[in-house]
């Protein structure tokens, strides 16, 4: 059989007693059994008068316990649909069905027939009904007993007429039938799981199940909650698992029942487990060690096992209780029939919040208060829920306020009712002034005063309803949450006319009453914190560390420089773009009193930032300025104008997104995987060393320093969007607003505004997808508002055509819903580094070996960058901020100055020289390592940013060129300040006159500009200074031809 959860009822356990008047008893039975199909306990039909309507019994089909029909005067009990009595409890310990004393004293009225025509089985006196149970039927007076109808074929029937013939399902069965049958033929046997007969041979044809019913299928057990996976050798949750609720399998236990790990719905947790109440679930949770019993036992349990009432001898056992286990189960009913004479309310239970009613008084009542002559109000002001059962408050002659209570708001289901009768008339209460306080909403309360309101008309402060909260005035300031007044922390300084706090903690004050220690307001600065650290307040009331007793931490000092720039020092040349945080300008930084120009990117944050936002911006700027990674752009300075401006180094080759789109036909697998490694290294640095979440990682926020070197930018800027709470909540995060990059964000970031390093991993997966598709748009054509639903359904970006499944599966792992299942950045560094050692195995590009990536200097971004008039004769930012010794040790006649980057273009194009042409005068006696190449020149001074050098050995981030032995020679630096370089037509062709400087000079420390611009990395300058004299022509210097040297061997690409 298949029942809905609403068709179950608990039954009663009165054993024939009459607890109320006949009318109240009938009301109780009707409320218990109305709409019920399966009785989880006992079906007790007693003390019913002849005129009473019993139609509420007609739907009952199964009874788990016993059936008792006694002390009635009705003609018959309408149990025509009852099919099985399981007898899990027996009346008097012996009977599953007991019928007796069903007639009035003079015999004029009484029970004439049972009419249980669908109750199948063998019903001879003393025989078993279900299991080892007996049938006991007694009539006080046999009024009339006619024979059964002739069509019955046996003397067994439930009443006169052929429709009441008893149906036999066991004694008439063929010998091959193991259990029940529907007829005498061998083909009419029931399935072995059937009880009470069947309509066919299948387990879905049973009239009732022998064990349990699983969605209409009779089975021995419900599907288990966990199953064993033979492939992983582990147990896993069973998606089809169900709980056993009586004789029915349910996917979820009914409300007010406890789910156990054993797969059952119970009313009390077994030993070694404890009750856990969640918002939508109640279950038994295993205790980590020994279960701590912090609750009290009610009547009939443990030390109160044989006690039937609370009195002076045992009331102390309930002192301090938060939960009472009553009648062997948790959270039963509250029944009060006696009370001290001088107590006028039930204030002893004023903290009671929930009555669960898992066991009910008389099988029906969760709260029953009767025959208390002195109480004037209930006083149950904290009661918020009665989970199950009825409320009966009657015969309390002094009780007022009871008619104002909104019982429906604390009931859990519509079948619950409150029966309020025979208390003090409400008119008498009104005349005595016993009415609800004016601060009570809807005139509903539990008693007298503003603390007894059922709900507040205004606001709730503590336990009392008030008109308003002390938000902007008053001695003690408050903040508001859901119409509740909450006190600010005592260390918050009251503000005049504005809020003093936004929370109850000491770090949520607008200003401090005494001192501030970090973010917390304190009464005094800590003294002897952890026994060693002492602090003192400065003139602004900020607690500072005392230096006298400090010990060296061993941490390297942060020597990063944060420059506060004047607006007059910066010149904006051209808008490069705008985004979520504001506008980006190409610009020039001209330090005051210096004759230099430094190319920079100026990021002007949006207007309207609050004081809190400005403070947060400075905190973020501190972090951004202190980064020290070759794969992360560093903040150079900040300009504190009305709209904050962040100044970073200008990468002249643009974003990686534009770069891969522009060169998609010339990018090989080596470069793609190298970029993946470098981005992962940069993000791992932000996670491990800076503890900073990027929030906006995408290919557009990765800049190209060279074809072999990329850097992450705009880290931390997305955080600045979130400083102004009002602004953020005003953004339609899934409605197409470009302030939030929905298509790069993790699902938890979109739905719950949760940003972590693992949400950055999701964005990293999308960034890798952009690279592998050469700049395609993720989820192109799909509106941003549809992305969350699409992700929740399991859809992800498709596999790029050039990617093997190895690379694609790394992307998929980055897009797992559970953030803890995503890889860490250090794991991504390892995975992509492994792939970068054998690129064609993991990224398949046609003609990969023949692809040569052009210099970034040929990019459209670079060409347009130098078109502006103000971008002339520039000095690189790193060279300016980290001054180095002269690049070459020159003669005194040579002019020493900073290395500039003129905009006129001269290409130094290297080509490998024939080793056979080495000069015979060379001797291996005095070694010197250097490079050789050919020089071609165009009109104008030399542009260092366009110099090109031979490929070199590479190891991680260090560049290791090949070494050859040559003798020393002399170096002559001849300055020709007014002589331009020769015309292109006059310059020697690339295949002629190999050239380099005439001396193997000793390098002190090469400018980082040259190393970064030409080699695409940040190599060890000390190593280069001792091994690599670079062949560099400085502007206005003369180069003479020499004999070429043997070529270096080549190893492609940086790892």
Collapsing DSSP to helix, strand or coil, 1023 comes out as helix
Does the annotation place 576 within a ligand binding site? yes
Does the annotation place 963 within a ligand binding site? no
| Stated length of the chain | 1055
Paired tokens of 899: 């290395």
Cα 647 to the center of its chain, rounded Å: 35
DSSP state of 280: S
Q: Please state the φ and ψ torsions of residue 187, each to the nearest 5 degrees.
A: -85, 0
Tokens 């049973």 belong to: 206
Does the annotation place 794 within a ligand binding site? no
- The 3 state secondary structure assigned to 558-585 is CCCCCEECCHHHEEEEEEEEECCCEEEE
Q: How far is it, in rounded angstroms, from Cα 996 to Cα 895?
A: 20
Does the annotation place 736 within a ligand binding site? no
Q: What's the count of helices (H) and strands (E) in the chain, helices before strands?
A: 17, 47
What angle, rounded to 10 degrees, do the helices at 669-685 and 825-836 form? 160
Does the annotation place 579 within a ligand binding site? yes
Question: Which helix (H) or strand (E) covers residue 751, if one does?
Answer: helix 747-752
Does the annotation place 580 within a ligand binding site? yes
Cβ atoms 304, 317 nearer than 8 A: yes
Residue in 203, 345, 517, 696 annotated catalytic:
696
Paired tokens of 839: 């690129």
Q: How far is it, in rounded angstroms, from Cα 543 to Cα 152?
A: 98
* Residues 6 or more apart whose Cβ sits within 8 Å of residue 225: 237, 238, 241, 242, 243, 261, 263
Measured CA distances, 29 to 101, 503, 666 (Å): 19, 51, 85
Q: How far is it, in rounded angstroms, from Cα 228 to Cα 641?
A: 65
Tell me whether strands 535-537 and 543-545 are parallel, antiparallel or unpaired.
antiparallel
Q: How far is it, in rounded angstroms, from Cα 679 to Cα 688?
A: 14
Does the annotation place 578 within a ligand binding site? yes
Does the annotation place 603 within a ligand binding site? yes
Tell me whether strands 535-537 and 582-589 are parallel, antiparallel or unpaired.
unpaired
Report the candidate in 219, 248, 192 with the shortest Cα–Cα distance to residue 61: 248
Long-range contacts of 457-464 (CB under 8 A, 24+ apart): 458/483, 459/483, 459/484, 459/485, 460/484, 460/485, 461/485, 463/381
Q: How far is it, in rounded angstroms, from Cα 492 to Cα 514?
A: 8
Cβ atoms 901, 876 nearer than 8 A: yes
Report the candidate in 431, 448, 450 with the shortest Cα–Cα distance to residue 440: 450
Q: How far is it, in rounded angstroms, from Cα 572 to Cα 564?
A: 17
Cβ atoms 497, 482 nearer than 8 A: no
Q: Is 696 a catalytic residue?
A: yes
Report the candidate in 376, 307, 383 with the shortest Cα–Cα distance to residue 349: 383
Q: How far is it, in rounded angstroms, from Cα 169 to Cα 190?
A: 9
Cβ atoms 346, 368 nearer than 8 A: no
What is the set of active-site residues? 696
Residues flagged as binding site for ATP: 576-584, 603
Residues flagged as binding site: 576-584, 603
């Amino acid at each position: 059989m298949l029942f809905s959860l609403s068709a179950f009822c608990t039954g009663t356990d009165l054993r024939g007693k009459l607890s109320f008047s006949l009318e109240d008893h009938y009301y109780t039975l009707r409320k218990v059994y109305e709409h019920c199909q399966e009785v989880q306990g006992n079906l007790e039909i007693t003390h019913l008068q002849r005129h009473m309507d019993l139609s509420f019994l007609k739907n009952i089909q199964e009874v788990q316990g016993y059936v008792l029909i006694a002390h009635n005067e009705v003609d018959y009990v309408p149990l025509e649909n009852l099919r099985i009595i399981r007898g899990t409890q027996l009346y008097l310990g012996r009977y599953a069905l007991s019928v007796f004393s069903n007639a009035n004293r003079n015999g004029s009225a009484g029970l004439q027939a049972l009419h249980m025509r669908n109750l199948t089985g063998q019903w001879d006196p003393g025989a078993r009904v279900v299991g080892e149970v007996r049938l006991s039927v007694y009539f006080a007076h046999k009024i009339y007993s006619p024979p059964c109808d002739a069509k019955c074929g046996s003397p067994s029937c439930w009443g006169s007429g052929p429709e009441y013939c008893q149906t036999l399902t066991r004694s008439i069965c063929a010998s091959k039938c193991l259990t029940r049958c529907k007829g005498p033929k061998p083909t009419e046997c029931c399935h072995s799981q059937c009880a009470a007969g069947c309509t066919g041979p299948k387990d879905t044809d049973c009239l009732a199940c022998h064990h349990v019913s699983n969605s209409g299928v009779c089975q021995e057990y419900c599907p288990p909650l966990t199953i064993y996976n033979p492939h992983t050798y582990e147990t896993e949750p069973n998606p089809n698992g169900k709980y056993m609720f009586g004789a029915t399998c349910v996917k979820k236990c009914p409300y007010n029942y406890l789910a156990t790990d054993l797969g059952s719905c119970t009313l009390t947790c077994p030993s070694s487990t404890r009750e856990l109440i969640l918002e939508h679930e109640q279950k038994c949770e295993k205790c980590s060690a020994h279960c701590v019993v912090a609750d009290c036992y009610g009547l009939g349990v443990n030390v109160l096992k044989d006690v039937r009432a609370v009195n002076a001898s045992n009331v102390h056992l309930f002192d301090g209780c938060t939960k009472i286990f009553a009648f062997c189960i948790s959270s039963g009913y509250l029944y009060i029939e006696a009370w001290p004479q001088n107590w006028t309310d039930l204030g002893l239970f004023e903290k009671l919040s929930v009555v669960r009613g898992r066991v009910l008084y008389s099988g029906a009542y969760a709260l029953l208060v009767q025959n208390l002559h002195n109480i004037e109000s209930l006083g149950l002001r904290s009661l918020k829920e009665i989970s199950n059962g009825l409320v009966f408050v009657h015969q309390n002659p002094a009780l007022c306020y009871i008619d104002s209570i909104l019982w429906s708001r604390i009931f859990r289901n519509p079948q619950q009712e409150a029966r309020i009768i025979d208390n003090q008339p409400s008119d008498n209460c009104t005349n005595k002034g016993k009415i609800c306080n004016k601060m009570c909403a809807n005139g509903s309360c539990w008693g007298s005063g503003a603390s007894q309101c059922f709900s507040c008309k205004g606001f709730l402060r503590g336990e009392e309803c008030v008109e308003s909260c002390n938000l902007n005035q008053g001695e003690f300031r408050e903040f508001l949450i859901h119409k509740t007044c909450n006190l600010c922390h005592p260390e918050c300084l009251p503000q005049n006319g504005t809020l003093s706090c936004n929370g109850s903690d000491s770090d949520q004050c607008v200003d401090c009453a005494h001192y501030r220690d970090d973010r917390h307001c304190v009464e005094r600065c800590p003294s002897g914190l952890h026994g060693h650290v002492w602090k003192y307040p400065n003139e602004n009331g900020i607690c500072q560390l005392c230096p006298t007793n400090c010990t060296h931490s061993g941490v390297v000092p942060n020597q990063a420089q944060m420059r506060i720039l004047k607006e007059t020092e910066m010149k904006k040349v051209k808008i490069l773009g705008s985004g979520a945080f504001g506008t980006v300008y190409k610009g020039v930084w001209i330090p005051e009193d210096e004759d230099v120009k430094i190319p920079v990117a100026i990021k002007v944050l949006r207007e309207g930032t609050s004081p809190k936002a400005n403070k947060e911006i400075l905190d973020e700027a501190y972090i951004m300025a202190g980064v020290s990674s070759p794969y992360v752009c560093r903040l150079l300075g900040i300009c504190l104008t009305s709209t904050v401006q962040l100044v970073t180094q200008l990468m002249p080759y643009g974003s990686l997104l534009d770069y891969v789109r522009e060169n998609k036909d010339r990018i090989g697998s080596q470069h793609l995987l190298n970029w993946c490694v470098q981005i992962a290294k940069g993000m791992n640095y932000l996670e491990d060393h800076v503890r900073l979440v990027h929030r906006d990682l995408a290919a557009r926020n990765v800049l190209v320093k060279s074809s072999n070197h990329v850097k992450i930018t705009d880290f931390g800027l997305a955080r600045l969007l979130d400083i102004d709470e009002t602004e953020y909540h005003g953004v339609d995060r899934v409605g197409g607003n470009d302030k939030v990059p929905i298509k790069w964000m993790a699902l938890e970031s979109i739905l719950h505004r949760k940003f972590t390093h693992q949400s950055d991993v999701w964005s990293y997966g999308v960034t890798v997808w952009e690279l592998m598709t050469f700049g395609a748009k993720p989820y192109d054509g799909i509106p941003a508002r549809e992305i969350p639903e699409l992700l929740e359904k399991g859809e992800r970006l498709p596999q790029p055509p050039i990617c093997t499944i190895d690379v694609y599966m790394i992307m998929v792992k980055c897009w797992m819903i559970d953030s803890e299942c995503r890889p860490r950045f250090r794991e991504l560094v390892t995975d992509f580094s492994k792939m970068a050692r054998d690129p064609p195995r993991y990224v398949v590009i046609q003609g990969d070996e023949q692809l040569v990536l052009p210099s970034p200097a040929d990019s459209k971004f670079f060409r347009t960058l130098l078109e502006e008039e103000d971008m002339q004769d520039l000095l690189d930012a790193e060279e300016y901020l980290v001054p180095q010794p002269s690049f070459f040790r020159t003669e005194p006649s040579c002019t020493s100055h900073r290395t500039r980057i003129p905009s006129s273009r001269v290409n130094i194009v290297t080509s490998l020289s024939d080793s056979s042409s080495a000069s015979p005068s060379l001797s291996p006696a005095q070694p010197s390592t250097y490079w050789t190449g050919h020089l071609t020149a165009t009109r104008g001074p030399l542009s260092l940013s366009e110099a090109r050098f031979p490929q070199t050995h590479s190891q991680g981030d260090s560049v290791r060129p090949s070494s050859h032995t040559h003798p020393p020679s002399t170096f002559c630096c001849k300055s020709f300040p007014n002589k331009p370089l020769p015309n292109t037509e006059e310059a020697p062709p690339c295949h002629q006159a190999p050239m380099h400087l005439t001396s193997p000079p000793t390098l002190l420390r090469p400018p980082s500009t040259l190393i970064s611009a030409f080699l695409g990395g940040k190599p060890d300058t000390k190593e280069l200074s001792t091994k690599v004299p670079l062949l560099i022509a400085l502007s206005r210097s003369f180069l003479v031809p020499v004999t070429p040297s043997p070529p270096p061997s080549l190893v492609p690409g940086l790892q």
